[in-house]
Amino acid sequence: MRKEKNKGVGHRKRLRGKLIRAGIESLNDYEIIELLLTLGTPRKDCKDIAKELINEFENIHNIIYAEDEELLKFKGIGEHNIFGIKLARGIIETFHKSKLMKKNRIRSAKDLVDYLYSSMGYLDREVFKTVFLNVKNEILKIDDLFVGTVNESPVYPREIMRKAFLYNATSIIIVHNHPSGDVSPSKGDILVTEKIKDICNTMDISLLDHIIIGKDKYYSFAEEGII
């Protein structure tokens, strides 16, 4: 029993050494997931379960952005095991947000989508974000304003305007996700966009875009010529 445990410790040590010496590209996908799983349970052998996850989810991206409940269905995975998965997810989101906040100017939806995919593309509930910008189209703040159910979130334009004045924003971009993955705008999405645009016009604030985010695709009202 002790020999098996020592074998597992030696295996993880070799993986970590390989990563340090040759970089992450030297590892197989399942080995990367194995190391993430063992961050929370360093004495547990996670090689087989890592291979099982790759077989089930096909790639690292899908595992990192899988819901916790999906991961916990697998025998051998507990709350501590998915610590590394959550950490990786958080690092990716933080990296993209930091990179985004350093941009001199937001020119289109494409400037935002990497951060939006990482922060909300995997969610199973609708979240409504607002990006507040200054006169140079530099980001002042990004706020999660409303959280809803699987297929809708309540939107209160008055709260959006309150925040815009609070941050001294001259323009905004509104964003929400579709957990279904279908980014086609609903009638409700179109009506909300029109309502917010009308209010923005009366307040001398520009509504630059409404972006709908799916797991790996997006819909931009501006790119489609609707705004």
Separation between Cα atoms, residue 53 and residue 47, nearest integer Å = 10
Q: What percent of the chain has pLDDT over 90?
A: 63
- 174 or 7, which is more confident: 174
pLDDT digits (tens, 9 = 90+) for 110-146: 999 999 999 999 888 899 999 999 999 999 999 999 8
User: Domains in the chain, please, with CATH?
Assistant: 2-91 (no CATH), 105-220 (3.40.140.10)
Separation between Cα atoms, residue 49 and residue 74, nearest integer Å = 8
pLDDT at 149: 64
Helix (H) or strand (E) holding 97: helix 83-101
* Contact in structure between 153 and 127 (CB atoms under 8 Å): yes
Query: What's the token pair of residue 212?
Result: 């709908």
pLDDT digits (tens, 9 = 90+) for 168-214: 999 999 999 999 999 999 999 999 999 999 999 999 999 999 999 99
pLDDT at 152: 65
Separation between Cα atoms, residue 128 and residue 146, nearest integer Å = 5
- The pTM assigned to this predicted structure is 0.78
Tell me the average pLDDT across 33-57: 90
